[in-house]
């Protein structure tokens, strides 16, 4: 099967800074792929280029066989690539359920989504464990619940590929375990996942495959155990 997302020779420069340099990366349908690397290695830039926030300086991105390089964020979202933000994004003055309804509304006709019926906003809240808080204003939710709401909002946009940016940042152990349990279920619902984080413990729980960035280049890509035993990767993480 061809990959759901194929990144070829992707580069991004910011003035004199090379944030990404000739990155090739394929995400296979139905997997949970982890992209790791030290601070400043280019992980966020990779997501920002894939989602259309930044134009690449070179290279291409195709999604389900279609070239999406340089498309605007709304077009990429409509094509079926969802995204959660490091900062949980919700309308504080609206109710939790209303936030999910709004997130789903503008993508009802989504060319990239499957034709299967999508769960209702309330079912999505139930999935992330927030159904009991449906009528609360989003602004009163504690941080951990707000992150889970962020996941429900991203799912409401019917992604075929979901990009998670440090999904467990700021969560306690119990909340992290709940999140891991939810994310692991996503491939069973037809959602491919790519997660970036520098928390290796989390990545080992979530991902069978890891790609490693260092100074904007991919230095390793393969089964999690093999990648973590790779001397090049150990060098980067242990500063050897
Ligand atoms: P990571 O997510 O792995 O921490 P980033 O993608 O945020 O790495 O950053 C990679 C490099 O690109 C860093 O040197 C960073 O300073 C630089 N960079 C990222 N975004 C911008 C930007 N908008 N303008 C200038 N430099 C940036």
Band (2; pLDDT cuts 50, 70, 90): confident
Q: Give DSSP secondary structure letters for 183-204.
A: HHHGGGGT-EEEEE-S-HHHHH
Q: Point out the ligand 1 atom lying closest to the alpha carbon of residue 39.
A: 4
Q: Is the pLDDT of residue 237 over 50?
A: yes
Task: Please give the CATH topology (third level) of the domain spanning 5-238.
Answer: Rossmann fold (3.40.50)
ipTM of the predicted structure?
A: 0.98
> Domain residue spans in the chain?
5-238
Q: Phi-psi bin for 213: left (phi > 0), alpha (psi -120 to 50), beta?
A: beta
Ligand 1 centroid to Cα of residue 9, in Å, is 18
CA distance 193 to 64: 14
Q: Whose CA is nearest to atom 13 of ligand 1?
A: 40
Q: What was the pLDDT predicted at 129?
A: 93
Helix/strand/coil for 220: strand
The whole-number pLDDT of residue 108 equals 54
pLDDT bucket at 111, cuts 50 / 70 / 90: very low
What's the average model confidence in pLDDT over 83-88?
A: 72
Q: 143 in ligand 1 pocket by Cβ < 6 Å?
A: no
**Rounded CA separation 137/104 (Å):** 18
pLDDT band of residue 90 (cuts 50, 70, 90) is confident
Condensed to tens digits (0 to 9), the pLDDT of residues 156-180 reads 988 999 999 999 988 899 989 999 9
């Amino acid at each position: 099967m061809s990959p759901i997302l194929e990144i070829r020779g992707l580069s991004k420069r910011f003035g004199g800074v090379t944030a990404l340099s000739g990155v090739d990366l394929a995400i296979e349908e139905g997997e949970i792929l982890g992209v790791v690397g030290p601070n400043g290695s280019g992980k966020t830039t990779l997501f920002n280029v894939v989602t259309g926030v930044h134009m690449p300086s070179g290279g291409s991105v195709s999604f389900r066989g279609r070239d999406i390089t340089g498309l605007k964020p709304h077009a990429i979202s409509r094509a079926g690539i969802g995204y959660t933000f490091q900062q949980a994004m919700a309308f504080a003055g609206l109710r939790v359920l209303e936030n999910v309804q709004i997130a789903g509304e503008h993508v009802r006709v989504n060319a990239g989504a499957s034709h299967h019926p999508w769960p209702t906003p309330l079912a999505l809240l139930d999935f992330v464990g927030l159904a009991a808080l449906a009528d609360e204003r989003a602004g009163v939710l504690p941080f951990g619940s707000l992150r889970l709401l962020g996941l429900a909002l991203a799912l409401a946009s019917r992604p075929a590929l979901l990009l998670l940016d440090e999904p467990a940042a700021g969560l306690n152990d119990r909340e992290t375990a709940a999140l891991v349990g939810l994310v692991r279920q996503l491939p069973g619902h037809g959602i491919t996942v790519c997660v970036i984080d520098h928390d290796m413990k989390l990545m080992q729980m979530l991902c069978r495959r890891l790609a490693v960035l260092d100074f904007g280049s991919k230095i390793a890509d393969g089964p999690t155990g093999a990648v973590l035993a790779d001397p090049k990767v150990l060098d980067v993480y242990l500063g050897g």
